[in-house]
Structure 1
Amino acid sequence: MRIFKLLLLALIPVSQIAAQSTGTFNTATVEKAIRFLAADEMKGRPVYSPEIDKAADFIAASFKKSGLQPLQGSSFLQPFTAYSAAFRGLTARIDQKEISKDKIIVITGEPELEVTEKSGYTISAIPAGSSLFQKASEAVSNGKNNIVLVDESFAPDFKRLVYFKRNFLKRPGATVFVLGNYALQTYTIKAAHVITGHKLANVAGLLPGKSRKDEYVIFSAHYDHIGIGKPVSGDSIYNGANDDASGTTAVLLLADHFAAQKNNERSIIFVAFTAEESGGFGSQYFSQQLDPSSIAAMLNIEMIGTDSKWGKNSAYITGFEKSSLGSILQKNLAGTGFAFHPDPYPIQQLFYRSDNATLAKLGVPAHTISTSKMDTEPHYHQPSDTVETLDLNNMTEIIRSIGISAQSIIAGKDTPTRVKEE
């Protein structure tokens, strides 16, 4: 009977569903959660702060109240350590010449590192015209020992590669970026850093499935933001209501909804990631805890508090063409009055800029759902990103529609195609 009711629900226009305002999908519940997460008292939920710990406790309490199980162990918190490397010293000699330390950046988790031509490092290059940070990120994350020659055309941005040592997860391999083209016949590069660990935690809950409990559907968002920064019109708190208290609120409501339904054949994981704004370390750690082949789909939710470029009752899906997930969600919303669209901002490369990216690179049909007008969004990473700038009624309908659209995947009736490696 419950499945029959869901089928009937999918045929009712969103406007009619909104009028009912029943169940877990209601604006009052949305407003209560998002006002807590984006309050001035939360000081923008920066990593390594008491406020982000308070947000984590709030999310964990909500998961417990919904009736979820902790994903691992006895706690909804999924703790891990991120590291930072503070420069202490560097010397470099390449092809019989001393090289300025300004032309060398070493990314390592080791306090002392010496690299020579006998160290067996893989040598590659980032040529002019490439995407510097994309190529650099690929090198840092490939698990190998690398020397990467960076074309001189990137000299103005070369120093920005220190980003990769500010926060990182310990992983195999080290990467040495060298600005310029060298034969690299002989070289000795010695680097010293002070390595510091920082405690972080995702918040993750599980709703076990029935017939297909070893297959997972993930609903996710990030609950961190960028804290207190440069004042704008006297306001220095970057509340992050849309980015991404809106997505976190969606995950909380979806957890309530599916836990109440109690008819999921596949298991569902609800997770709020930390440190998205600092490099995506929460989702990177999370992805290491699961077998990617067991994940049927990931619906990451990022900035859904404003109307999309198509107006109300609409949202877009990043990387739409990379799997069949978007088509399945569209099909399940037929006749509801709500529409999902392909990402209209491909130049922004949003598919690679949110917490879906790590699992997508492993082949998981992992996509982000958003409404943010990334070409004109006035409040993005501004103190003005407050609850008052959001359309909470429309946001409620987006959350409801995400729940409806994912139902056939959760029921095991649809399985999205995998994302292919590029």
Structure 2
Amino acid sequence: MKKVYSLIFLLLFTGAAFAQKQGIEQAYVDRLIKTLSADDMQGRKTFEPSSEKAADFIAKEFKAIGLKTLPGLSGYKQTFTVNRIKPGTPEVKINDQAVDPGKVFIITDQPGLQWQKSGGAAIDVVSIGAQDSYSQKMGELMKAHKNTLVLINPAHQDIFTKYRNYFGKGNTSLASTAAEQGSLVVVLHETAEPASYQVKVTNQVQTSQISNVVGIIPGKKQKDEKVVFSAHYDHIGILKPVDGDSIANGADDDASGTTAVITLAKHFKKQKAPARSLIFVAFTAEEIGGYGSQYFSKQLDPEKVVAMFNIEMIGKPSKFGKNTAWITGYEKSDFGKILQKNLDGTQFTFHADPYPDQDLFYRSDNATLARLGVPAHSISTDEIDIDKRYHSVDDEYDSLDIANMTQVIRAIAQSASSIVAGKDTPSRVNAAALR
């Protein structure tokens, strides 16, 4: 019996010491997430005033903490320009036969297109046959950034319709990369190799400015090496009312991650100066394509980024129970093993992503830097396979477990300690192996 009491005492003491050592207060966490997920934030949708309101709040917190601004910026907002494309009605002919506009969608950042088989811009023609993987082929074409006419076999009509419903609403692109982007004209058509084709469309282009929020703690001994702590502060705004509620508050997605980033900034600012420089960033526009992280990544030398802790939905306990979290792409570097080593002697454990079929490594802001070789991983606790509150009006503050969330943040702080101190360097991600 004495052994049992001793074990209980050890566990309780270890947990208390863990919390005390980190100096991360639950009341502070609670205040931040309650503010970010409040109704007056109106769901923090990109391009809406509510998004700007959230950015202002985060910047104010960074200033209160005493973070430095990025070199070249006058404040904490990293503002950049995007083009928002509202597509016109496409006019497409294949072998001189007009195609129903309902069987066409276009992915472009150009104000207009005018293609034909003879002359003009160099256009590739690619067919996706009945036996081909539609998603794989489209993914490859979207990454290739070439002007391409894509002919889809009608066997793929269902998934074609889903893509058309999404891209038919328009798309967004970084204005700074407009010259790098190719256009895809995607047509549901049996012909695989047309003798002739014509494409004509005129689009409306609206230029908008949006902002990441970024603060830094400069390093000392290895100041040119960067460790990034990130989350996205945007969400999806106002939805169709459900029982009188229309605000998708995004408490877990991802006010929880943004709260963690601010809290970690405060924690590390109170410590002695880190060996490596620490960057704390709240991304915009994750929900509409990850444009905030795309722009951010272009401002850094990826070879100088040692690790990225991207924090995505930590507001509720994971499937593994309290005091646990999981890491996307666990097998792609030794990032997770280093984090767990730094938690030896605590009750907290990190696990590999239990939802590989959900493709989560590629669905958050870590993916942009990971594709550049950075050991960039997302940390989460969400039970995404059964989370009925995800992207709904029910993702509210009162659905969260703030105590467990605070423990997750404490664990991230301690697990990062050897990387921040310059003692451990995670292995690089094999970017060539990523899709």
Query: Map of 1:336-351 to 2, 5 A cutoff?
Result: 336-351=346-361
Q: 1:298 aligns with which of 286, 305, 308?
A: 308
Q: Give the match for residue 26 of structure 2.
A: 27
Contact 2:83 2:206 in 1 (8 A): yes
**Judging changes above 3 Å, is the alpha-carbon distance between structure 1 residues 147 and 224 closer, same or farther for their aligned structure 2 residues?**
same
How many residues are aligned here? Answer: 411
| C-alpha deviation, 1:307, in angstroms | 0.4
2:118 aligned with 1:111: no
2:363 aligned with 1:353: yes
Q: Give the match for residue 3 of structure 1.
A: none
State the distance in 2 between where 1:322 and 1:411 align.
Answer: 23
3-state SS in 1 of match to 2:163: helix
Contact 1:12 1:335 in 2 (8 A): no
**Amino acid in the other structure paired with 1:147:** L
Query: Map of 1:260-299 to 2, 5 A cutoff?
Result: 260-299=270-309
| C-alpha deviation, 1:297, in angstroms | 0.9
Query: Map of 1:2-401 to 2, 5 A cutoff?
Result: 15-17=15-17, 20=20, 23=23, 25-71=24-70, 72-117=72-117, 118=119, 119-128=121-130, 132-133=134-135, 135-162=137-164, 163-164=166-167, 165-170=170-175, 171=178, 172=180, 173-180=182-189, 181-401=191-411
State the distance in 2 between where 1:13 and 1:341 align.
Answer: 24
3-state SS in 2 of match to 1:205: strand
Contact 2:107 2:171 in 1 (8 A): no
Output the TM-score relative to the length of structure 2.
0.89
| C-alpha deviation, 1:255, in angstroms | 0.6
3-state SS in 2 of match to 1:224: coil
State the distance in 2 between where 1:134 and 1:288 align.
Answer: 26
State the distance in 1 between where 2:123 and 2:60 align.
Answer: 47
Q: Give the match for residue 4 of structure 1.
A: none
State the distance in 1 between where 2:388 and 2:291 align.
Answer: 27
| C-alpha deviation, 1:13, in angstroms | 6.7
Q: Give the match for residue 3 of structure 2.
A: none
State the distance in 1 between where 2:127 and 2:348 align.
Answer: 46
**Judging changes above 3 Å, is the alpha-carbon distance between structure 1 residues 229 and 16 closer, same or farther for their aligned structure 2 residues?**
same
| C-alpha deviation, 1:136, in angstroms | 3.1
| C-alpha deviation, 1:154, in angstroms | 2.3
**Amino acid in the other structure paired with 1:223:** Y
Deviates more, 1:354-363 or 1:146-155: 146-155
3-state SS in 1 of match to 2:364: coil
**Amino acid in the other structure paired with 2:76:** F
| C-alpha deviation, 1:81, in angstroms | 2.2
**Judging changes above 3 Å, is the alpha-carbon distance between structure 1 residues 132 and 59 closer, same or farther for their aligned structure 2 residues?**
farther
Deviates more, 1:368-377 or 1:89-98: 89-98
**Judging changes above 3 Å, is the alpha-carbon distance between structure 1 residues 94 and 135 closer, same or farther for their aligned structure 2 residues?**
same
**Amino acid in the other structure paired with 2:215:** G
| C-alpha deviation, 1:44, in angstroms | 1.1
Output the TM-score relative to the length of structure 1.
0.91
Question: Once the two structures are aligned, what percentage of the paired residues are identical?
Answer: 50
Contact 2:55 2:213 in 1 (8 A): yes
**Amino acid in the other structure paired with 1:103:** K
Contact 1:216 1:269 in 2 (8 A): yes
Q: Give the match for residue 6 of structure 1.
A: none
State the distance in 1 between where 2:129 and 2:324 align.
Answer: 40
Q: Give the match for residue 7 of structure 1.
A: none
Contact 2:22 2:414 in 1 (8 A): no
State the distance in 2 between where 1:271 and 1:411 align.
Answer: 20
Q: Give the alignment's Cα RMSD to 1 decimal.
A: 2.1
Q: Give the match for residue 8 of structure 2.
A: none
| C-alpha deviation, 1:187, in angstroms | 2.0
Deviates more, 1:230-239 or 1:338-347: 230-239
**Amino acid in the other structure paired with 1:68:** L
Deviations 1:311-366 (A, max 9, x none): 11000001111111111111111221100000001111111111111111222111
3-state SS in 1 of match to 2:331: helix
Deviations 1:71-123 (A, max 9, x none): 24111111122222222232222234332222322222222211233422234
**Amino acid in the other structure paired with 2:285:** A
**Amino acid in the other structure paired with 1:112:** G
Contact 2:228 2:278 in 1 (8 A): yes
**Judging changes above 3 Å, is the alpha-carbon distance between structure 1 residues 324 and 68 closer, same or farther for their aligned structure 2 residues?**
same
State the distance in 2 between where 1:129 and 1:341 align.
Answer: 37
| C-alpha deviation, 1:373, in angstroms | 0.4
**Amino acid in the other structure paired with 1:82:** V
3-state SS in 2 of match to 1:32: helix
**Judging changes above 3 Å, is the alpha-carbon distance between structure 1 residues 234 and 15 closer, same or farther for their aligned structure 2 residues?**
same
Contact 1:92 1:187 in 2 (8 A): yes
**Amino acid in the other structure paired with 1:148:** V
| C-alpha deviation, 1:68, in angstroms | 1.3
State the distance in 1 between where 2:284 and 2:131 align.
Answer: 33
**Judging changes above 3 Å, is the alpha-carbon distance between structure 1 residues 22 and 215 closer, same or farther for their aligned structure 2 residues?**
closer
Q: Which 5+ residue runs of structure 2 have no aligned equivalent?
A: 1-10
3-state SS in 2 of match to 1:231: strand
**Amino acid in the other structure paired with 1:277:** E
